[in-house]
Amino acid sequence: MKILVSVSLSVMVLLQDAAAVTHSLQYIYTASSGMTDFPEFVNLGMLDGVQMDYYDSVIRKVIPKQDWMAKNEGPEYWERQTQASFGAEQSFKVNIGTAKERFNQTGGVHIAQMMYGCEWDDETNEVKGYYQGGYDGEDFIVFNMETETWIAPIPEAVITKHKWDNNKALIAHWKNYLTQECPEWLKKYVNYGRSSLMRKDVPSVSLLQKTPSSPVSCHATGFYPDRAMMFWRKDGEEIHEGVERGEILPNHDGSFQMNVDLDISSVSPEDWRRYDCVFQLSGVEDDIITKLDKAAIKTNWGKPEVKSGDGGFPTAAVIGGVLGFLLLAACVAGLIIWKKTQQQ
């Protein structure tokens, strides 16, 4: 398989404390075969978990997804990125064909992916880089930064491993890029979007319930960044039994939403006052605490129709967030859940 050379960066946005922030820049490439309703090639960049640019084989152009990227980089930058992405598209067409031969595949839907980048701790200045290639939802090739060798998790990747291990120039390129060039680009982009990326937006929190016997959902929406936690307490102590925590999902405006459900089937009415929902946002000192109160619960139960703004269950917001998440997941993961292992 051929390697791609283009500007890119890191992977995960983790919960950080207020004293330090780990910034990340990540580029993800996805090539598909046998899919009629999805571009054959998609390439996107993510800064601190926020999409900053996008390219696919239909538009054949890298476009900014954030105002701070559009304002700080001129036409020459976007042309260079477009040319690099177009080259990656051509390489991936070869790559996915080679992979199909290795796996003895002739038809069906198949997906080849690559993601690489770095993370930077703005307090310790520590940098971590990584490179991973995947095929049909599984790891295919991984770069080991410590040994400066390639790891082949499956037999079909051994040929690629040997070829790349013998290419010392390729290894030198990735080591230099992941430890030197990548962090410099990351710091530059963080500076562009600092006012947006470093903001702290607290959410609105509501109690939702579909029916009187359903779990009560504590729903927070409109917060930023996504380094947040939410949980139920009883008598001031966090509880886990009867609690189901949902994923953090993106909203259309770049903010986030999440929910945590509490099973109240065994909670007596007089004990409701002992429960509350706590939302914590990284970098914000005060928690948002919502008492379990029947009068405060929003529900559609028993109502023939609840229109937007009537105070019922905010299905439009939830569904919109889920659809946005699924659309992003389609671009990022090529419709397949790829287990993103940490840097070796």
pLDDT classification of 12: cutoffs 50, 70, 90: very low
Q: With contact defined as beta carbons under 8 Å apart, do 157 and 141 qualify?
A: yes
Task: Over range 16-26, report the average pLDDT.
Answer: 67
DSSP result, 189-236: HHHHTHHHHT--BPPEEEEE-SSTTSPEEEEEEEEBSS-EEEEEEETT
How is domain 22-197 classified at the CATH fold level? 3.30.500
Is the pLDDT reported for residue 265 higher than 80? yes
In the chain, count of helices (H) and strands (E)? 7, 18
Condensed to tens digits (0 to 9), the pLDDT of residues 124-177 reads 999 999 999 999 999 999 999 999 999 999 999 999 999 999 999 999 999 999
Supply 41's token pair. 């090639």
Q: What is the three-class DSSP state of 143? A: strand
Tell me how far apart the alpha carbons of residues 106 and 104 are, in angstroms, rounded to a whole number.
Answer: 7
Task: Over range 320-341, report the average pLDDT.
Answer: 41
- Count of beta carbons in the 10 Å neighbourhood of residue 234: 17
61 versus 8: the higher-pLDDT residue is: 61
According to CATH, the superfamily of the domain at 204-313 is Immunoglobulins (2.60.40.10)
Q: What is the share, in percent, of the chain residues with pLDDT greater than 90?
A: 71
Look at residue 20 in the predicted model and tell me its pLDDT: 53
Those residues whose C-beta lies under 8 Å from the C-beta of residue 144, and which sit 6 or more positions away, are 150, 151, 344
Is the pLDDT reported for residue 29 higher than 50? yes
Condensed to tens digits (0 to 9), the pLDDT of residues 89-116 reads 999 999 999 999 999 998 899 999 999 9
Task: Over range 274-281, report the average pLDDT.
Answer: 97
Condensed to tens digits (0 to 9), the pLDDT of residues 198-257 reads 889 999 999 999 998 899 999 999 999 888 999 999 999 999 999 999 999 988 888 899
Is the pLDDT reported for residue 318 higher than 50? no
For the chain, give every domain's residue range: 22-197, 204-313
- Distances 41 to 51, 90, 172, 333 between C-alpha atoms, Å: 17, 9, 27, 12
Look at residue 254 in the predicted model and tell me its pLDDT: 80
Single pTM value for the model: 0.69
Bridge partner residues of 279 (DSSP): 230, 288
Distance of CA 278 to the CA centre of its chain: 24
Is the pLDDT reported for residue 4 higher than 50? no
pLDDT classification of 2: cutoffs 50, 70, 90: very low
Is the pLDDT reported for residue 18 higher than 80? no
Q: With contact defined as beta carbons under 8 Å apart, do 63 and 50 qualify?
A: no
